[in-house]
Amino acid sequence: QVQVVESGGGLVQVGGSLRLSCAASGRTFSSYTMGWFRQAPGKQRELVAAIGRSGIMTYYADSVKGRFAISRDGAGNTVYLQMNSLKPEDTAVYYCNKDRRYYSDYLPWGQGTQVTVSS
């Protein structure tokens, strides 16, 4: 079973940037379309970006389009989320997992990484 470990979050000012990483342990992500999700306090977890197995197909939620960029390494062990022009509404815990639109279940959820954008 693949385990996911997210990292790279932190406290940043409005307009700043962060790069999140999602590492696989146990097995690789290479056979999965992967997504980055976020959950703000009191809100449901939402998909913000996804990337296909080959890295060619990408998806972005309207709220992050043009500011975030998802990528993955060729070995299939790491998925990244480059976040630019951050806004206070981007504040959330960020998680990575399989893009549920294509699969019947999720991998076990990691601990996530906290992103806080201060105004």
Residues 77-90 pLDDT 10s: 899 999 999 999 99
Which tokens is 4 given? 């996911």
Q: Are 23 and 76 in contact (CB under 8 A)?
A: no
Q: Report helix, strand and coil shares of the chain as percent, to nearest 5.
A: 5, 45, 50
pLDDT band at 72 (very low <50, low <70, confident <90, very high): very high
The pLDDT of residue 27 is 82
The pLDDT of residue 43 is 96
Coil, strand or helix at 89? helix
Integer Cα distance of 30 and 53 in angstroms: 6
Q: Are 49 and 35 in contact (CB under 8 A)?
A: yes
The residue with greater pLDDT, 102 or 81, is 81
* Model confidence at 76: pLDDT above 80: no
Which tokens is 85 given? 């022009």
Could you give the angle at the alpha carbon of 64 between the alpha carbons of 8 and 3, nearest 5°? 40
Integer Cα distance of 2 and 111 in angstroms: 14
